[in-house]
Amino acid sequence: MTAAAVSTDGLDGLDGVAGLDGAAGADNVATTADRRPPNAFLAVAGRSVPTVLLYVVSISAALGLCAILVSTTGGSATKVFSALLDGSIRSAGAWGITISTATPLLVVAIGTIVGAKAGMDNIGQEGQLLLGAGAAAFVATRLDAPGPVLLTASFLAAAAVGGLWASLAVLAKFTRRVPEVISTLLLIFIASQIITFALTKKWLLRALDSSSRTNNGEPLPKSARMPGIEIFGNVVSWGAVVALLLTAVIAVVLARTTIGFKLRMLGLNPRTARRFGVSAIGIGGGALIFSGAAAGLAGGLWLTGGTAGDRFTGGISSNIGWQGLLVALLARQKAALAIPMAFVFAGLRTGSNFVAATGVDRRITDVIQAMLVLSLLVPPAIQSLQRRRRRSGVAA
């Protein structure tokens, strides 16, 4: 590393993969002018296109593509849209269910954001969540304690197991340089096999009186169900309050505390962070473990307060982990933004229950979710390219 290279190091994240933040971070230290002729696509997009317009165009394009997809496969896009609205907010009690679904998504997303801020790309939430839910189910069905104690104990167990699972990836990264992107991914598949195994053993998760061939967990006791708050006929689980509190705390910690600053510094520029004495293992590894613990906690919240039924099953995670990860990507590392995004995704999820009635397969909502994420990646990327061009004095 040359001296010149060091001098250009600001906190602008050109070292390595700068977190799960969509656009490449490094756009403001262009030392050499980019002399290539401007790209035709960018010329169309223009230099002075306002941010809002870019987003509107991009999102409409994504939704338009989904509508075309529905129409060309023999469905009606307007009916699907209306069914989505019915299922997510319009029908009786739908708000409450959507919020209860948004809760685990938000918690997963908050954890992911913390990890990504520190430059640790955890993408194994699906497995961490599943194990977390399993741990919560184990404690909730075994421990004989009054409601609040029981719930707290199961949440702690869920978070601990989720964090433990993520810590395996931390170990692999810092002792053997295995990229956490790969290890967390592979750990998902191992986690799901562990749960399948646990559901075959009565001393682990299998229901004690189970004689059927389908392996399910013991029904949760009443005291292990998260109490709900009733607002205008909608039952909202207390878990939502927990999730919102957690979001607020994390937002403040990230923005206002030393540890939050260290974390962000590590994510933006690990080299600078190292010089300031930030421990990559302590802070970075801690952030990854935290994101695993959050995913585990989300599993506990989903089990006790979600709409997953009254007992633990092997399919309980049903993409909540993946979707929570997408929420974090959509929120672009901003904790506060994760709240509305989680609600939108939860709406798509609960709305999908009504889509089947229109004759269109419900998994269209998975497509919509992914398309939304892709569409939101485009505007910031275009803008960062434009900023770079402008600064280096090349007419766009």
Partner 1 sequence: MIAFGGSLLDVLSSNTMYSSTVRFAALMAFAAVGEWVAEKSGTMNISVEGMILTGAFTAALGSYWFDNPWMALLIGMLGGFLVAAIHANMSHRLGANQFVVGLTLNVLAVGLTAFLDAQIRPTVTRVPEFEIPVLSSIPLIGDALFNRTWVLYLLYPLVPLAWFIVYRTRWGLEVRAVGENPQAADVSGIHVNKRRRQAIYFCGACAGMAGAYLTIGQSGSFAADGVSGRGFLALAAVIFGGWTLKGTIAGALVFGVFQALGSAYQALGYEANPSLLGALPYVMALATLLLFAYRSRQPSSLGRPFVRGLT
DSSP per residue over 47-88, as a string? SS--HHHHHHHHHHHHHHHHHHHHHHTT--HHHHHHHHHIII
Q: How far apart are the first and last CA of the chain?
A: 33
Shortest Cβ 24–partner 1 spacing (Å): 4
Between 95 and 138, CB nearer to partner 1: 138
Between 98 and 365, CB nearer to partner 1: 365
Between 197 and 276, CB nearer to partner 1: 197
Shortest Cβ 380–partner 1 spacing (Å): 8
Shortest Cβ 182–partner 1 spacing (Å): 6
Shortest Cβ 273–partner 1 spacing (Å): 17
Shortest Cβ 325–partner 1 spacing (Å): 7
In what helix (H) or strand (E) does residue 10 lie, and over which residues does it extend?
none
For the record, the structure tokens of 189 come out as 């598949």
Between 148 and 315, CB nearer to partner 1: 315
DSSP per residue over 126-179, as a string? HHHHHHHHHHHHHHHHH----HHHHHHHHHHHHHHHHHHHHHHHHHHHHHH---
Between 264 and 388, CB nearer to partner 1: 388
CA distances to 103, 340, 356 from 336, rounded to whole Å, are: 14, 8, 33
Chain Cα centroid distance, residue 197:
26
In what helix (H) or strand (E) does residue 17 lie, and over which residues does it extend?
none
Between 74 and 233, CB nearer to partner 1: 74
Tell me how far apart the alpha carbons of residues 205 and 190 are, in angstroms, rounded to a whole number. Answer: 17
Exposure string of 41-75, with b = 16+ CB inside 10 Å and e = fewer, is: eeeebeeeeeeeebeeebbeebbeebbebbeeeeb
Shortest Cβ 4–partner 1 spacing (Å): 7
Using CB atoms within 10 Å of the CB of residue 394, give its burial: 0 to 12 exposed, 13 to 18 middle, 19+ buried.
Answer: middle
Shortest Cβ 186–partner 1 spacing (Å): 5
Between 137 and 188, CB nearer to partner 1: 188
Shortest Cβ 200–partner 1 spacing (Å): 7
Chain Cα centroid distance, residue 145:
32
Between 150 and 294, CB nearer to partner 1: 294
For the record, the structure tokens of 250 come out as 């994390």
